[in-house]
Amino acid sequence: MSAPMSAKAAVNSALVEWNGTRGLPRFDAFADTDFEAAFDAALAAHDAEIDVIAGRAEASSFANTIVALELAGEALSRVSAIFGLRAGAHTNEVIQTLERAIAPKLARHSSKIGMNVALFARVDALWEGRARLDLTLEETRVLERHWKGFVFAGAKLPKPEQERLAKIDEQLASLGARFGQNVLADESSWSLLLSEGAELEGLPGFLLESMAAAARERKADGKFAVTLSRSIIEPFLTFSTRRELREEAFRAWVARGENGGATDNRALIRETLQLREDKAKLLGYATYAEWKLDDTMAKTPAAVKQLLETVWVEAAARAKEEEADIAAKIAEEGKSHDVMPWDWRHYAEKIRGQRFDFSEAELKPYLQLEMMILACFQVADRLFGLEVVEVPGVAAYHPDVRTFEVRGRDGELMAIFLGDYFARSSKFSGAWMSALQSQHRLPTAARPKGEMPIVYNVCNFAKPAVGKRALLSLDDARTLFHEFGHALHGMLSSVTYPSVAGTHVARDFVELPSQLYEHWLTVPAVLEKFAVHHETGAPMPKELLDKVLAARTFDSGFHTLEFLSSALVDMAFHTRPPTDDPMAVQTEVLAAIGMPRAIVMRHATPHFQHVFAGDSYSAGYYSYLWSEVLDADAFAAFEEAGNPFDPVLAGKLQKNVYSVGGSVDPADAYKAFRGRMPTVEAVLRKKGLSKSS
């Protein structure tokens, strides 16, 4: 069911009628200024569809209410998908201005639907009578999702409280958009320009090439730019021998969102936390965390806290040993300064080189982006029978974006995949996966077999100079595999209803397919084939490969505390009453857990975009660790089988994890694959923190 778009002449149909290559939008057929009119028309069309569903005279049925809701709003979904992609991966002043305007408008639209009395009455009748409807498991899950969506939107509240809730959601949408834009502004406006000579001491060639390219982008030819892109700042902190420059760059990195002036996020955080508390109370929950965890595997803040604190004890002990090793290394060099955060990566790299006899600089020439992309694709082929082939000459939203066809064992086109790999000033930092179009099998007039997924990955690897190959760190390569694992979750989806397709799963289950896929990067057979030198083509020497594998858990205390501290602060914010000074909460939590002075949160509060640039991971950053417990145990099944590509296990993995989306309970899905649920011991072994590891 799809209502016609408004007939306004200003509406560019290319935003909703996707007739480009392989069903993609024709990105070259619309301008940034076309979005506003398209949003207005799409919102009006969706309103009309909702009015039809809510106003039907016949009794509510699954088909005339739930299926109709599943198919409604196609035009809005399409405009929103393209706009969301642009806002995150290739933004500008026009897009950002519209984002600030459209975010509250979309929230208002969603609230209006959620508080539609007649519509909720139809859904509620189905929910109350579900036992008589003879629904499949997937249909029951879809009905539950819609019913809970209405309840969480305030459908059961009195009118004044509904209006208050709608206003809160509108304000939160505005705050989230501003938060993210402020972080991007701080990231894109800062750089440290260095000159030839002493300022570049210790920096390897691959990093100098990336810094030179970043300087050229900033119209500073002949200079070398340290930027706040992780693919440049982290190797700079690792290799630069100039401690004062490391400190300057580090302080800028951790100060994003906390620099005073127009881009300072601290006031936005305070307002966000208060509004979230108000929202939770309106919906009948004691805290915002209890509301957010209602539909997750963890269920309660207490369960989350127990997991985080259990791992913290082991990781803190390991980090203390690591810091002592760094202090000893500093003394060995005849220096007397304390271990500070801008020292850790630098000296850890020296210790790793000494202990395992290799360095990141020695490893990086073997990790070409192009070969690692092929490695991602071949692992998908060996596990799931997928063939991924590039389609040249497709005009996407930026010249760097690449388009691929994904075909199954029978040769049928299953999905389209877009890869956007390089950092640029118009792109938010970090890496993510999303979908322009989700898979489903509901027939429509235009698509009788439903929709094929169109999925994209966005990364921020340093772009090489013209004619040079892009080289990755081991962490970069893991990121590539991680995001492609998310992409596979979307592309292998095989469900009937779009609301439970692909990554539409519990927040603390969504990271399982991505984190699990990372394991195949370090399968020896994968590195032996794809880790080849960018100049000679020679495979990584077995001796170096063995060292890389032996060092997999090196510095695990440091990396685990970076993450855990962020997760614990996130949970504290959303289980405590709001305060006028959220930064004091961060300080208090870090003091209470004994955060080492030499380690900082992976995401300090003023630039914690997972939590404050929207609410996807608010009271949910812990989910990476929750999923890591699952992924460690899941890959252990392949290790126990003695074959990382065991076809029986791969088939069970595809059937029960990658393809079912949210159509089954996540615990049931995992147990169908593994036969049981794991314990925290699995992740401690993976990180090398277990006494038995």
186-210 confidence digits (pLDDT tens)? 999 999 999 999 999 999 999 999 9
The residue with tokens 């600030």 is 100
Output the pLDDT for position 7. 45
Mean pLDDT estimate for the chain: 96
β partners of residue 434: 456
Mean pLDDT, residues 226-243: 96
Amino acid 304 reads: V
Mean pLDDT, residues 28-37: 96
Domains of the chain: 13-181 (1.10.1370.40), 190-255 (no CATH), 301-339+554-686 (1.10.1370.10), 365-542 (1.10.1370.40)
Mean pLDDT, residues 598-603: 98
Output the pLDDT for position 691. 67
> Active-site residue numbers?
483
Query: What are the E-state strand segments in 133-206?
Result: 192-194
Integer Cα distance of 432 and 426 in angstroms: 15
DSSP character string of 262-288:
GG--HHHHHHHHHHHHHHHHHTT-SSH
The residue with tokens 């404050």 is 612
Mean pLDDT, residues 532-545: 95
Query: pLDDT for 254-303, tens place per residue?
Result: 999 999 999 999 999 999 999 999 999 999 999 999 999 999 999 999 99
Structure letter (DSSP) for residue 448: T
β partners of residue 435: 455
In a 3-state reduction of DSSP, which class is residue 599? coil
4: pLDDT strictly greater than 60: no
Confidence of residue 3 (pLDDT cuts 50, 70, 90): very low
Integer Cα distance of 503 and 480 in angstroms: 17
1: pLDDT strictly greater than 70: no
Residue 405 CB-density burial (10 A; 0-12 exposed, 13-18 middle, 19+ buried) = middle
Integer Cα distance of 417 and 453 in angstroms: 8
> Encoding tokens for residue 6?
């408004």
Residue 493 CB-density burial (10 A; 0-12 exposed, 13-18 middle, 19+ buried) = buried
Query: pLDDT for 675-685, tens place per residue?
Result: 999 999 999 99
Contacts of 422 (CB under 8 A, 6+ apart): 400, 459, 460, 461, 462, 463, 470
- Please check whether residue 499 is in contact with residue 70, taking contact to mean a CB–CB distance below 8 angstroms: yes
Radius of gyration of the chain (CA): 25
Mean pLDDT, residues 614-643: 96
Tell me, rounded to whole angstroms, the distance of Cα 46 from its chain centroid.
28
Integer Cα distance of 401 and 159 in angstroms: 47
Integer Cα distance of 475 and 234 in angstroms: 10
Cα-based distances in Å from 502 to 498, 499, 673: 8, 9, 17
Output the pLDDT for position 465. 87
Output the pLDDT for position 71. 97
690: pLDDT strictly greater than 90: no
Integer Cα distance of 371 and 396 in angstroms: 22
The residue count of the chain comes to 693
The residue with tokens 């145990």 is 633
> Encoding tokens for residue 54?
């809510």
Beta strands 402-407; 192-194: pairing state:
unpaired
Within 10 angstroms of residue 658's Cβ, the number of other Cβ atoms is 27
Output the pLDDT for position 693. 53
DSSP character string of 612-677:
HSSSTTTTTTTHHHHHHHHHHHHHHHHHHHT-TT-HHHHHHHIIIIIS-TTSS-HHHHHHHHHSS-
Mean pLDDT, residues 579-587: 97
Structure letter (DSSP) for residue 12: -
Confidence of residue 2 (pLDDT cuts 50, 70, 90): very low
324: pLDDT strictly greater than 80: yes
β partners of residue 440: 451
- Please check whether residue 202 is in contact with residue 240, taking contact to mean a CB–CB distance below 8 angstroms: yes
Higher-scoring residue by pLDDT: 6, 90: 90
Query: pLDDT for 447-485, tens place per residue?
Result: 899 999 999 999 999 999 888 999 999 999 999 999 999
Mean pLDDT, residues 308-328: 97
Output the pLDDT for position 692. 58
